[in-house]
Chains A and B, each alone.
Chain A
Amino acid sequence: MDMVTTNNRQWEKYQKEIADDRYYYARSCIRQTFFPGSEWAFIDILRNKLGKDIFDDPKHTTCTGIGYHSDVVPFQTTMTVVARHFALMTEAGYANITPSCITSFGIYTEILHAWEEHPELLERVREDLYKATKREFDVPKNLAHTSDVIYKFRNQIAMQMVHPLVDVHTGKPLRVVDHIGCHYAKMFPSKGVGGAEFPAVLSGMVDAWGGECIDYPERRHCCGFGFRNYLVQANRGYSVANSMKKLESMEPYEPDFIVTNCPGCGMFLDKWQYTISEMSGKTYGKNGYGIPVLTYEEMAGLVLGYNPWDLGLQMHQVAVEPLLDKMGIDYDPEKKYCDADGKLISLPKCPTFLKQ
């Protein structure tokens, strides 16, 4: 037992290899749908704040991940679609790939592992891809999730910080709870910063930017997506129940916000707070508000002084204003629901209980 504990604790300091420049960007179906401002901010931060080369390829498509994990797309198909991404990367002259989704990252990791273990699978994929598209590919030299990349440059970002993760009224660090997402490191712990048990990819950013990360009991529990358990309306009780378990677990620590690694988890922890409030009247923040949920790109963006409405924080169901106020961010509330020309689009309806 002691040995297991000792071995597990070694993960605490574990660092993975993360390329330092020239990335092929793999977009995420879920992130671009629910958090498109995060994808924009990631590229903008890399190019304009860190001076990095990142390629955004219009020919890139889904990795089929949600279809694969809801058992309507077979592994051979998913591997070959991913191989096409590797081919596009190779053709564009890149060798490092950075997906913006934990489901994709898990799939890329699983595939690279499967090819190492079963080289005949790689050969069959090469044949199938060539037959289908006439494309050929190199296996990427480095695979890093987009949060790994931000983690790697957290100290450079800290040097350009405009709004640290500090409550400007009390001078105290903001209390942050993180949610890493199961497929980041539970499948292949050595592919995630801190492994499966000591996830450090987000808490490392929080520490570097002046906040305090809280280790709440259900920190490692699944958000409840569960693929078919959310996709099919009849099964959604599973999804909301698991998110609720996490929200109940973090509530006593009075977090200022939740930060998530995976766009799906972030979307659920945001939207289910609305659903739970409509079902039971319960809200998890102070004074009828929820606990704001940020992606790590949004967190980095706020720290770097980006306009919250450029980052897309108006697309969240849980109001972020209490957090913006704590951080002393000067934002224009009148512009929240405006279009690109600054004209009001319209106002969303108000939930019954959750303050907006």
Chain B
Amino acid sequence: MGRIIDILNQDTHFCDGLNSCMNCGVCTAVCPAAEFYNYDPRVIVDTVQRGDESEIEELLKSNTIWYCGECMSCKPRCPRGNTPGEVIMALRKASIETGLFVESEKGRQQFAIKRAIADSVLGVGYCVSPDIAVPEKHPEQGPVWEWICANKEQVYERVHANYDGNGAGALRHVDEASLNELKEIFKVTGGTAFMESIEQCSKEKAAALGMDIEEYLHETYTFNSGGDGYGNNE
């Protein structure tokens, strides 16, 4: 016992983000996630502040901690200098480190994000690129984006980009040496291990649910049960 609190206390986001909450609710009033989800940063901060290990463990297993948009709108407004968004970042990291993220629908989405963003960082050197934001996965981007993707070379050349080219310029191809440096940094700093643990826990969860990994990936990317944020689906 006390394990999760110990993990949190080693996290600079947690230490910097939580002083002493007076439950005023200002963070909730300005929070864009609270506006559209059944989500309340004040309640989360208060739960964490009470320090009850089993309540915190419940949080790590719940959908609740995954609604925040990390916009940090709460930071300049909190009269006590707390940042609920940073507390959330620490809770999410702890949820991944303890493997509890696979216990909730929203937590399981980390797998889809890992496969899209983290793999892109190490694969091409960018979080986002025209090659990953494909129209099939982004119908909301509309017909102009579809047109750009269908004619990438010509459109990007017209607007002075260096798409997939050598040397400087927008959308240049990141050279092998730089990509290798990125990979080394990920290895040395724990980034690779962190990503691998998302991958591993997700594979185990997929097996437990009787899904193959591609099916699980699709499910975590698209499924929304309309749950209320407190683990209830109705």
Quick one: which of B111-149 are within 8 Å of A by CB?
112-114, 116-118, 121, 125-130, 133, 137, 140-148
Shortest CB–CB separation between residue B18 and chain A, in angstroms? 15
The reply to whether B96 and A71 contact each other, CB–CB distance below 8 Å, is: yes
Tell me which residues across on chain B come within 8 A of A74, comparing CB atoms: 93, 189-191, 194
Q: Which residues of B contact A226 (CB under 8 A)?
A: 32-33, 68-71
- Shortest Cβ gap from A352 to chain B (Å): 10
Chain B hits for A173, CB < 8 A = none
Q: Are A186 and B171 in contact (CB under 8 A)?
A: no
Is the beta-carbon distance between A182 and B143 smaller than 8 angstroms?
no
Question: Which A residue sits closest to B171, measured CB to CB?
Answer: A32
Residue B109 is within 8 A (CB to CB) of chain A in the complex: yes
Interface centre among B114, B155, B175, B223 (most CB of A within 10 A): B155
Q: Which residue of B lies closest to A273 (CB)?
A: B142
Query: A60: shortest Cβ distance to chain B, in Å?
Result: 8
Report yes or no: B189 in contact with A80, Cβ–Cβ below 8 A.
Answer: yes
Q: Check B70–A227 contact: CB distance below 8 A.
A: yes
Residues 296-323 (chain A) with a chain B CB within 8 angstroms: 309-312, 314-317
Partner of B158, one of A71, A271, A338: A338
Residues of chain B in range 164-183 having any CB-CB distance to chain A below 8 Å: 166-172, 174-175, 177-179, 181-182
CB A287 to nearest CB in B, in angstroms, measures 19
Q: Which of B106, B110, B185 contacts A77, CB < 8 Å?
A: B185
Is the beta-carbon distance between A70 and B113 smaller than 8 angstroms? yes
Specify the chain A residue showing the minimal Cβ separation from B177.
A59
A62/B121 in contact, CB under 8 A: yes
- Cα–Cα, bound, A117→B126 (Å): 29
The closest CB in chain A to the CB of B148 belongs to: A315
Q: Which residues of A contact B71 (CB under 8 A)?
A: 182-183, 186, 222, 225-226
Instruction: Determine, out of A139-147, A156-164, A230-238, A247-255, the stretch whose residues face the partner at the interface.
Output: A230-238
Report chain A residues within 8 Å CB of B155.
314-315, 339, 345
Q: Which of B40-48, B53-61, B72-80, B205-213 contacts the other chain?
A: B72-80
Q: Which residues of B contact A121 (CB under 8 A)?
A: 12
Residues of A in contact (CB 8 Å), total 97
Flag whether A285 is at the interface (Cβ < 8 A).
no
Interface size on B, residues (CB 8 A): 89
Of A29, A66, A72, A309, the most chain B CB neighbours within 10 A belong to A72
Kindly state whether residue A351 has any CB partner on chain B within 8 Å. Answer: yes
Give the residues in chain B near A339, CB-CB below 8 Å: 154-155, 157-158
Asked whether B159 lies within 8 Å of A29 as measured between CB atoms, the reply is no
Question: Which B residues are CB-close (under 8 A) to A58?
Answer: 166-169, 172, 175
Among B75, B175, B179, the one with the most A-chain Cβ atoms within 10 Å of its Cβ is B75
Taking a contact as CB atoms closer than 8 A, the residue among A67, A182, A234 that contacts B117 in the complex is: A67
CA of A177 to CA of B174, assembled, Å? 36
Nearest-CB residue, chain B, relative to A59: B178
Whole-angstrom CA separation of A186 from B2 in the bound complex: 33
B195 sits at the interface (CB 8 A): yes
Cβ–Cβ contact A73 & B172, under 8 A? no
Is B126's CB under 8 angstroms from A128's CB? Answer: no
Tell me if A275 counts as interface (CB < 8 A to partner B). Answer: yes
Known: A61-B182, A71-B89, A84-B185. A232 touches B159 (CB 8 A): no
A72 engages B189 (CB within 8 Å): no
Q: Does A64 contact B (CB under 8 A)?
A: yes
15 further A-B contacts with Cβ under 8 Å, apart from A27-B170, A71-B93, A229-B33, are A66-B128, A70-B70, A70-B117, A71-B89, A72-B198, A114-B12, A222-B73, A224-B69, A226-B32, A226-B69, A226-B71, A271-B142, A317-B145, A345-B155, A356-B143
